[in-house]
Amino acid sequence: MVLKQNLNTKVIYEAIYNLLEIANTNLPKCVYDKLSELNYKGKENILKNAHLAQSLKRPLCQDTGQVVIFLEIGQDVIFSGNYIEDEINAAVSNCYKEKFYRKSTVQDAVFNRANKGDNTPAIIHTKIIKGDEINILLGIKGGGAENMTTLKMFNPTAEFGEILNFALECAIKAGENACPPMCIGIGAGGCAETAALLAKKALFTGETLDIEIDDVFETKILTAPTHIASLPVCVNLSCHSLRHAAAKIQNGKIIYEPKPPGYKDIQILTNAKEINTSDITAFETLQDGDEILLSGVIFTARDAAHKRMAEIIEKNEILPFDLKDKILFYAGPCPATPGEIIGPIGPTTSKRMDKFAPLLYEKGVLATIGKGNRTIKGLNRLYFKAQGGIACVLQQCIKKCELVCFEDLGAEAIYRLEIEKISLKTVIL
């Protein structure tokens, strides 16, 4: 006689809720240890951010991403209660609201990109396994790294070295967009969708490859059988936070993987030039590559806000605020908890705003702040690179926050920020 586990799905809700907080606020110990060993510029900020996120119980990154769940269910488990996926999505919705995490999911990819307001639905991959246990692996994927995902259908006689070169090319192309040092997940086999799924899961559970790639702290791979004529390969990247957590349910009890130990604070020293946004002439002397500490007033504005501003300008209507000599920060913060000035905040990928940048510079924008390289050149305009993936560190630099306009856009609304000594690198576009 086979013993079966009778389980109310409320236990699934509890596990998912807790795993979300663990994954969003704790840098995995294995990642912390590897990053500590790297000789990487900006490492100190990453380690300090890990300390702040853990001690404040706030997200490592303002992009609290899409929730991806690998759910393994023993075939001998008997469920009672609500539908499992309803419980999972209720846990996501409630956790993201109650913990003041950023909600980044829109209603529909093409036809209605209004923010849903609760970060659901989670992306759930379910597999039936033998026995009466349940295994849950939960990952948080932000847009910057996820957007660098690449699929390639190789010739079936391709050598393994070609696959590694492909992964290297993907990492180089991603650059700062994926918040390096990054983790590479390689999935190979099955059909195209299998390779993509394997690549995602490889980030968290794949076999580690003993190779060294600049700006990469780890490369992992998962493989599967495939057609004799096919060799699908997908590369999925993760930022340095590699946010994930896991648990299993046995006999109705949730068993979580051990949480990382408390991380120590890191002191950061710099001799960068200090500039205030009120001193417009100071910006005229900046050269490509200059590192600065910026204080003063800036305005957040990212994808949806840029689109709306462009539409207003094209209609010859008046913008809600004057762009002349303003600095736009490509950022969408987490909601602030009671007592916070602003939630964790950091730069998003700048090149997504490139189609709007010439128009807004023409309307008087002094400079922009964001993450990664850009496609626009020859404008002779200022762009400042900010380090990605250190949202709690940058949160400490915000001294005042006021809503300006587009409140309906949620995290993509425009805010006026008073900042103090944000570390940036100058780029002349």
Tens digits of per-residue pLDDT, 16-62? 999 999 999 999 999 999 999 988 889 999 999 999 999 999 999 99
User: From CA 324, how far away is CA 330, in angstroms rounded?
Assistant: 17
Going by pLDDT thresholds of 50, 70 and 90, the confidence category of residue 347 is: very high
Sign of CA dihedral 408, 412, 414, 417: positive
252: left (phi over 0), alpha (psi -120 to 50) or beta: left
Which among 51, 240, 244, 306 is annotated as catalytic? 306
Tens digits of per-residue pLDDT, 70-108? 999 999 999 999 999 999 999 999 999 999 999 999 999
φ, ψ of residue 382 to 5 degrees: the values are -90, 135
- The tokens of 362 are what? 């023409």
Strands (E), 2-113: 6-8, 66-74, 78-80
Angle between helices 29-37 and 43-56 (to 10 degrees): 150
Sign of CA dihedral 292, 293, 299, 305: positive
Going by pLDDT thresholds of 50, 70 and 90, the confidence category of residue 269 is: confident
pLDDT of residue 1: 46
Q: For the residues 190-201, what does the mean pLDDT come to?
A: 98
Asked whether the beta carbons of 16 and 229 are under 8 A apart, the reply is: no
User: From CA 63, how far away is CA 243, in angstroms rounded?
Assistant: 11
265 pLDDT exceeds 70?
yes
pLDDT of residue 189: 98
Asked whether the beta carbons of 321 and 404 are under 8 A apart, the reply is: yes
Asked whether the beta carbons of 262 and 54 are under 8 A apart, the reply is: yes
List the Cα angle 402/53/178 in 5-degree steps.
85
pLDDT of residue 213: 87
Sheet holding 253-256, edge to edge: 123-129, 66-74, 134-141, 244-250, 253-256
User: From CA 116, how far away is CA 104, in angstroms rounded?
Assistant: 8
Peptide bond into 181 cis (omega under 30): yes
3 pLDDT exceeds 80?
no
Give start and end residues of each alpha helix (H) in 160-302: 160-174, 192-205, 280-283
Instruction: Give the number of C-alpha atoms closer than 13 A to the C-alpha of residue 125, restricted to the C-beta side.
Output: 14
- Give 407: exposed, middle or buried? Use CB within 10 Å, 0-12, 13-18, 19+: exposed
Cβ count within 10 A of residue 11: 17
Render 89-147 in DSSP notation, one character per residue.
HHHHHHHHHHTTPPP--BS-SSS---B-SS-PPPEEEEEEESSS-EEEEEEEE-HHHHT
Percent of the chain clearing pLDDT 70 (strictly above): 99
Listed in sequence order, the residues at least 6 apart from 158 whose beta carbon sits closer than 8 Å to its beta carbon are 231
Active site residue 227: no
Q: For the residues 114-142, what does the mean pLDDT come to?
A: 96
Tens digits of per-residue pLDDT, 270-285? 889 999 999 999 999 9
- Average model confidence (pLDDT) across the chain: 96
Instruction: Give the number of C-alpha atoms closer than 13 A to the C-alpha of residue 301, restricted to the C-beta side.
Output: 26
